[in-house]
Structure 1
Amino acid sequence: MQRIFCCNKNKVTTANRIIKANNSIYNELKKFPKNRISTTKYNIITFLPKNLFEQFRRLANAFFLFLLILLFIPQISSLQPITTLLSLIIVLAVTAIKDGVDDFARYRSDRQINNRRSDILINKELIRKYWKEIKVGDIIRINNNEFIPADMILISTSEPNGLCLIETADLDGETNLKPREALEITINHQNDLEKLSKFDAEIECELPNNNFLRFEGTLKWNEQIYSLKNDNFLLRGTRLRNTEWTFGIVCYAGPDTKLMQNSDKPKFKRTKIDHWLNKIILGVNYFL
């Protein structure tokens, strides 16, 4: 096993986070986010103003709105604005309905994921709770074929050597299984809930980032410091395979997980035709 001393160049820098296992009071003071995720663009309050703002970023819509305003001024135009008004309302309504349906589908997907369940160790007992209730510092048990609910440090597995296999197909598309291993000092905890509930290790790790291939940190326990690396790390979105169970300590939850750090908020899509229309409209206005 590798220990880290003060002179080690690989020691975690001051720009990091500190987590204490089985110490909810300390971890809550750090105000780490919970494990609930949201990939939607809108909510009930922001849908209308935000969607209209995005739609009027299309110069064609903005042009017709400006034209509509001019039609309402009798000194400028004698034409009735009703035709232009109805056309603009229909275009905006159809686009808003489509965006609303797409965003509702994202909301349903988020709700389904947030309401998945995992076993959390609380007062020497495993309690089945929703993913959205998981917090940093919790000790989680993952059973075979279950998805990992958050980024975790592997403590122990059903294998005597502390190894487990995970599938990362949902992250990188690779179907081959990848091995992960627990530190030698934590292997002996196995499935002993009493030992695990008294496990008071302090984990110091890097700040949340989107690098799937790197993890650096240290685990301090019984006045000894041990190095943590990517082989000791379980990513949210991966799946436990060919291993009866594993235990892990949550170090990143919800939006801080590497999976969510790599997921951009959905953006308002504009096609090449939209870009060309914007240029044409600007050109026409310039020459007029």
Structure 2
Amino acid sequence: SGSLRGAEYPLAFPAFTWEVRANDRNYHKQFKKRFAFCLSKQKYAGNAIKTAKYNVFTFLPLNLYEQFHRMANIYFVFVILLQTFPAISTLPWYSLLFPLSCLLIIRGVRDLIDDIGRHQSDRNINNRPCEILCGKSFRRQKWCDICVGDIVRLRKDSLVPADMLLLCSSEPSSLCYVETSDIDGETNLKFRQALLVTHQELVREESMAAFDGTVTCEEPNSRMHSFTGTLSWRGQTYPLDSERILLRGCRLRNTDLCYGLVLYAGFDTKIMRNCGKIKRKKTKLDHMMDRLVIIVSGANTSCSASL
């Protein structure tokens, strides 16, 4: 693991805008980014995730909004509105409202049950235990408590909670073996190795608590097998690549202990960037039904106009 001269860094890596300082939560909390109009949020995301679509307040409006993307439901509402005019009414309007309401309720209950499952899954993941360096010792906390810049200790067979720079491990030369089956489906073990300088210097909890290195790297992205950055520490700059990184979702194998510096957390991690947002899905049958409803309603309108 060679070093780069600090003076050459700005010219060699001009696109690096993601800066992580070890053991310095206050530094990362001061940065915000704009995401809508005048609204802003923290630049460095927390490690808690939320994949559920609804909450107590948004379930009813969002679910009705999604259901009325089906042309059949809009058509029935239009027919019900027409039945409120006595001059053209053939049936009581409430006789058509009842079956539509039943359909909306059944689909709403189904969506609610699915989303409750997502909430439960989110809670289980966010509440998984981990060991975070607090002060001069590691304390048992939850995944959702992890922040960018924290140093986390992992034990054998544990899942990696965030994208981390491997600092050292219990293996010779700080090798670390991981299984990536949850990411790419491959069951064969892959090895990662820490920088020689961190392997030699970070040998005790006291030295990790005093570690003040700065990682400057690329912004969060979805490229699973690439990473480029540098570690600056004690006046020296060391290049980093994907062989130094432990990704969220990997499982530690054949390694008793390893220590990592959190670079990306929560939805900034590569695996979560690849998941994307939950989108409203429509089957081919739904698309065909929408077209048929438009054709039928258009034909009825033409017939009414000719009469």
**TM-score calculated relative to the size of structure 1:** 0.96
Correspondence list, 1:115-264, <5 A:
115-264=127-276
In 2, the alpha carbon distance for the partners of 1:279 and 1:149 equals 46
Q: Is the 8 A contact 2:16 2:216 kept in 1?
A: no
Amino acid at match of 1:285: S
SS at match of 1:187: helix
Q: Does 1:17 align with 2:29?
A: no
In structure 1, how many angstroms separate the alpha carbons of the residues matched to 2:83 and 2:202?
76
The runs of at least 4 aligned residues of structure 1 exceeding 6 Å deviation read none
SS of the counterpart of 2:12? coil
Give the Cα–Cα distance (whole angstroms) in 2 for the partners of residues 158 and 267 of structure 1. Answer: 43
Question: Which of residues 29, 43, 49 is equivalent to 2:61?
Answer: 49
**Structure 2, gaps ≥5 residues long:** 32-41, 303-307
Q: Please give the per-residue CA displacement for 1:36-92, whole angstroms capped at 9, x wherever unaligned.
A: 001111111111100101101000111001111111222331421222111100110
Cα pair 1:12 1:206 within 8 Å, conserved: no
Match of 1:111 among 98, 112, 123: 123
Amino acid at match of 2:2: Q
> For 1:68 and 1:82, how far apart are their aligned partners in 2?
8
Aligned-partner SS, 2:227: coil
1:141-195 deviation line (CA, Å, top 9, x unaligned): 0000000000000000001211010000111111000000000100024540000
CA drift of 1:9 comes to 9.6
CA shift at 1:15, angstroms?
A: 4.7
Distance 2:16 2:233 in 1: 21
- Decide whether aligned partners of structure 1 residues 191 and 15 sit closer, same or farther in structure 2, where only a CA change above 3 A counts: closer
Deviation of 1:2 after TM superposition, in Å, equals 2.4
Distance in 1 separating the partners of 2:276 and 2:55:
17
2:293 aligned partner: 281
Q: Calculate percent identity across the aligned residue pairs.
A: 41
Kept in 2, the 8 Å contact 1:141–1:247? The answer is: yes
* 8 A Cα contact 1:160 1:187, kept in partner: no
Alignment partners' CA distance in 2, 1:90 and 1:246? 55
Q: Is the 8 A contact 1:167 1:176 kept in 2?
A: yes
Report how far residue 270 of structure 1 moved: 1.2
Deviations 1:2-21 (A, max 9, x none): 22345579933345211110
CA contact 2:166–2:258 (8 Å) conserved in 1: yes
Q: Is 1:40 aligned with 2:40?
A: no
**Measured at CA, do residues 11 and 43 of structure 1 come closer, stay the same or move farther in structure 2, by a change above 3 Å?**
farther
Counterpart of 2:28 in structure 1 is 27
Q: Aligned equivalents of 1:189 and 1:71: distance in 2?
A: 80
The equivalent residue for 1:2 is 2
Quote the offset at 1:119 in angstroms. Answer: 0.5
CA shift at 1:232, angstroms?
0.2
8 Å Cα contact 2:16-2:229 kept in structure 1: no
C-alpha distance in structure 2 between counterparts of 1:15 and 1:192, whole Å:
30
Q: Does 1:96 align with 2:108?
A: yes
Structure with greater helix share of residues: 2
Q: Could you give the per-residue CA deviations for residues 100-122 of structure 1, whole angstroms, max 9, x where no partner exists?
A: 10011011001000000111011
Contact 2:193 2:244 in 1 (8 A): yes
Where structure 1 has 5 or more consecutive residues not aligned to the other structure, the ranges are none
The separation in 2 between residues aligned to 1:191 and 1:142, in whole angstroms, is: 15
